[in-house]
Chain A
Amino acid sequence: MINLRNIFKSLALSLVMLCFVTGNAQIDSLNKAQQLLQTKNIEQAKSLIESVILHSDTKGDFIAWTTRAYIYFDIYKRTDKLKLNSPLRDTIISSIKTSISLNPDETFKSNNTKLLTNLSAGYFNMAKVLLMDSLNYKRSVIAYNKYKETSLLIDSKTIFKAKDIEFYLAAGSLYSDIFNKDNNNTEAQETAKITLLKVLDFQPDNISANVNLGIMYYNQAVNLGKSLDFGADFSQIDLVQDNIIKLAKQSEYFVARVYNLDNKNLKAVEALHSIYKMLNEKTKEDEFKVKCKELNIKLD
């Protein structure tokens, strides 16, 4: 009986020792992974940290998760920085999210923020490049939304109104420019309309969005007139005129908003002269002709 009790005692002690040793072993592994990261042995660091975050002793340690994020970041910055979809970036973000959920101390909070700031800036740059260089609005808007999601992890109270206006206005101006150069590009036209209307959702009095949207509708009406065949019969003329009038009135709605805010806005005054001419509103056309002259706007 005494012997049996001693065996149990020894076994229990061994188990405690074993747990202590393996726990320490995991902490050692975490330290080792950090050293490997510092010495740029990234592949080894990566395989080691994967075992650390799975182990029950260390999976609840924010240091392990932030370390994992930094290890993956090291690989990411060399290979995936310019990729919109990057599993490495996703791993970094999910690791930081876990670290945040484990209430890190100030040092690790700051380390997490540094990484997130870098990633959100990367997404913002990508949104810009995809929009302005690659003319790929769809991918650009994905990058932009990712930028916002990442920024919210840094500060959940971030307000994006100004950035949203900046982004959608840039997209709207760019695509209305493309449409005005190539009136058959209806995809550009649609993108311009959607993005400029988004700007007006945020800021109904935005001068640039109102003017560009108004001029786009006006130019669309011009295109209808241009494309009217000389051989068109009276019913076709009637239909085209109806559509031109609709578009010109839509155009007037946006441009007049700007004029009502600033009656010396050169673009608004010039555009309203053209719109009233198109609408056969002679009195208003003449009124804006005088205003154009007063503001030194040259009319063709």
Chain B
Amino acid sequence: MSIIFLLLSVLSFAAAIVIKILFVPASEGIDITGAHVFFTVKLPIQDLPITESQVNSWCVMLGILFLCLFLTSGLKTRNVSVRQLLAEWIVEKTTNLVKTNMGEFFEGFAPFVAAVLGLSAFSSLSSLIGLFPPTSDINITAGWAILVFFLITYYKMKAGPWIYLKSFGQPVPLLAPLNIISEFATPVSMAFRHYGNVLSGSIISLLVAVGLSGLSKTIFSFLPGALADFPYLRIGIPAVLSLYFDLFSGGLQAFIFAMLTMLYISGGFPAEEYAARKKKREERKAARAAVMNANKRESA
């Protein structure tokens, strides 16, 4: 039963590969472009092109969904399987990460951080199986960064809009424009950092691969016939680069994005003001209740 979920999880990645093979034309030589557009949907404001990055990120989501179902099927309280141990390990690790970085108040953020980590890491790692990594599309990372920006603003306003507005005038009101700019710079920098890292990785990989084939052509030109054209230097060497740019950089960027998400959200949250506001509200409530009780007693 659980094997089916694992199979489906793998299948959803395989589907992305199949779609790419069927619909994306093979590129000749060096062409550094964005994602391939499958078709365009007419929408107001701007037409929506359904691209490789969209499809791949859906495939990744589907894969993660089935992976979750695989990990959590047949949970037991005793004689825990390795699968369940893995699921518990993931949950515990992310919860602890969130707790140590954001505090007890934000414990509910664990699934969100796990989602950011999972989506980002799997998207970047999908380049390992020859897919177009969705994270090298600015729209994808921008969407995440904007969501994080909303969350930051929401938690900053938790202690009241007035306190939020006042925070722009810190430490001197003269710096308000800079504060506003820095507020908007947060999501922009997050989006571009992630996008730029992954994209530059694939571009460098591509350039190195092309450069190596040119180099091998000049070095091995003395060989007769088709043997001279074979790119010997492309065997193995690009794999080392891929190890860094796809595996390490992909994982690292996912971690950085998740860390920044946690730090910005918890850092912008005015905990003391929020506590004071909560206390004041409760006091007011208690006072109102006391007054109502007194009125009732008088009327009685």
Chain B associates with chain A: no
Q: Which residues of A contact B (CB under 8 A)?
A: none
